[in-house]
A and B are shown apart, each in its own frame.
Chain A
Amino acid sequence: MADPNNDFELVKSFNEGNENAFNIIIRKYQQKIYWHARRMLGNHLDADEVTQQVIIVLYNKLKTFSFKSSLYTWIYKIVNTRSLNQIKKNQVKRFFSFEDVRENELSGSNDIIEDISNKQIIDKVQKLLQKLPLKQREVFIMRNFDELTYEEISKITGKSVGGLKANYFHALKKLTEMMKYEDQ
């Protein structure tokens, strides 16, 4: 039986046909996958969709994973790419739709957060994050919520550390401006 803390052994075991190893990998990372998608997308329905897509991709592509990076970085890369794709898809959908799809999505009753006060806090932060341009949102979420270093973010996004720092700076600037607006 593979060590549940050792990603290399888990992947190897899954590739040898042990389906349970895959379950362990997913249980280990599913929350991180979901919450990153949720923060990027701003609503549960899209986050759920992306999370499922990512798990299916992992199931199909884990055989090709060569451990050139950590499994976590690889998974993160997939989640991030899928989230960006979903955002673009939503933008196209919104462009061709007469009703405000985004508002409907955000105010959707289908959510995994049941506590009303928690939901209000999350909704407020989600709205703030949605106001950030994609590149800034991406780096802000990875730095502040996932506590990744610039080097790790650079591996995931393929962007330079300098560029990421600049994006993070602009994200902070925008958020503090919003904070001042809220204070007034």
Chain B
Amino acid sequence: MKINEKILRHLSGLMGEEEKTIFEKELSESHQLLAEYNKIKLYLDNISSVKEISGDPAYFVNLLPRVREKIQAKKKNQFSKKIVYAIPALSAALIIFLIYSPANKNVTVDDLVNEIIANADQREISDRYVNLSNDIDDYGFYEESVPDTVMIPAEWQKGAEAYYITNRQFRNGDDFSLLENLSEKELEEVYKDLSKINI
């Protein structure tokens, strides 16, 4: 083993007790080893002596106030971040509440149907809106010749586009009970379309 390596093993604490004793004995006997050991030790001590150099005291005096400012700024940022996230969250919650609120839940297709039935003049609609009486057979069903679409009379079309009701399947030939026999979906469509028309 090289002299240098022995010294470094000793300085690193890598030597066992026995090896350490032998080395220390050797160190006390060999001038060459001692000189080399002292040289390395001095070199390392010189490196370590840097720790005695202190920096500008003002830096350490100002360090804490600077960091405190940063901490405060971060706290403020966190608060504004919370607000930034809270506003859209609350808005979304409000929208969801309005959509699914109990008041809105009660409005069903049945309500729409009742509203149509209560407000519509069935005879008038039967006569003028759905002119089908000639096409319904004895059993109350459409004949094959019934067109798929029925047009709204021209005088009803003020400012509105041509209006179509497609593929209606009526089960009963009674003109007056036509609306009652429409399916819920059909009634909803009729209601929507009628409400658009400015009579």
Known A59-B71, A112-B56; contact A23-B64, beta-carbon cutoff 8 A: yes
Whether B53 and A113, one on each chain, are in contact in the complex, defined by CB atoms closer than 8 angstroms, is yes
- Given A56-B71, A150-B13, A166-B14, does the pair A145, B50 have CB atoms closer than 8 Å? yes
Q: B65: shortest Cβ distance to chain A, in Å?
A: 10
Smallest beta-carbon distance A164→chain B, Å:
9
Q: Is the CB of A125 within 8 A of B8?
A: no
Whether A30 contacts B11 by the Cβ 8 Å rule is no
The docked-state distance in angstroms from the alpha carbon of A57 to that of B101 is 45
- Chain B: minimal CB distance from A127 (Å): 11
Contact of B59 among A112, A118, A169, A173 (CB under 8 A): A112
B27-75, CB < 8 A from A: 40, 43-44, 47-48, 50-51, 53-56, 59-60, 63-64, 66-67, 70-71, 74
Q: Does B12 contact A (CB under 8 A)?
A: yes
Asked if A144 meets B44 with Cβ closer than 8 Å, knowing A122-B53, A165-B13, the reply is: yes
Interface of B is mostly: helix
CB <8 Å contact, B74 and A175:
no
Indicate if A172 sits at the interface (CB-CB under 8 A).
yes
A85 contacts B by Cβ under 8 Å = no
Is B133 an interface position by the 8 A CB rule?
Answer: no
Residues of B within 8 A of A118 (CB): 53
Interface residues of A in 51-106 (CB under 8 A from B): 51-52, 55-56, 59
| A114, A150, A175: most-surrounded residue (chain B CB, <10 A) | A175
The contact string, 1 if C-beta is below 8 Å from chain B, for chain A 134-157, is 000000000011000010000000
User: Which residues of A sit under 8 angstroms from B12, Cβ to Cβ?
Assistant: 165-166, 168-169, 172
The answer to whether A52 touches B51 (Cβ under 8 A) is no
Chain A residues with CB below 8 A from B40, complex form: 172, 176, 179
Residue B128 at the A interface, CB < 8 A? Answer: no
Give the interface residue-count category, chain A.
Answer: 20 to 34
Among A26, A111, A112, A168, max chain B CB count under 10 A is at A112
Expressed in whole angstroms, the minimum distance between the Cβ of A52 and any Cβ of chain B is: 5
Min C-beta distance of A160 to chain B, whole Å: 13
B50 surroundings in chain A (CB, below 8 A) = 121-122, 125, 145
Q: How far is the CB of B75 from chain A (nearest CB, A)?
A: 10
Partner of A169, one of B8, B67, B71, B74: B8
Please give me the residue from chain B that is nearest to A145 by CB atom.
B51
The reply to whether B8 and A30 form a contact with Cβ atoms under 8 Å apart is no
Report the Cα distance A168→B44, complex, angstroms: 12
Contact A128 B47 (CB under 8 A): yes
Q: Of A31, A112, A165, A179, which one neighbours B43 at CB under 8 angstroms?
A: A179
What are the 5 tightest A-B residue pairs by CB atom distance, in nearest-first order?
A112-B55, A169-B12, A112-B56, A112-B59, A55-B67
Could you list some 11 contacts between A and B, CB below 8 A?
A30-B60, A30-B63, A114-B56, A118-B53, A122-B53, A144-B48, A145-B48, A165-B12, A168-B13, A173-B8, A176-B4
A interface residues with partner B (beta carbon < 8 Å): 23, 26-27, 30-31, 34-35, 51-52, 55-56, 59, 111-115, 118, 121-122, 125, 128, 144-145, 150, 165-166, 168-169, 172-173, 175-176, 179
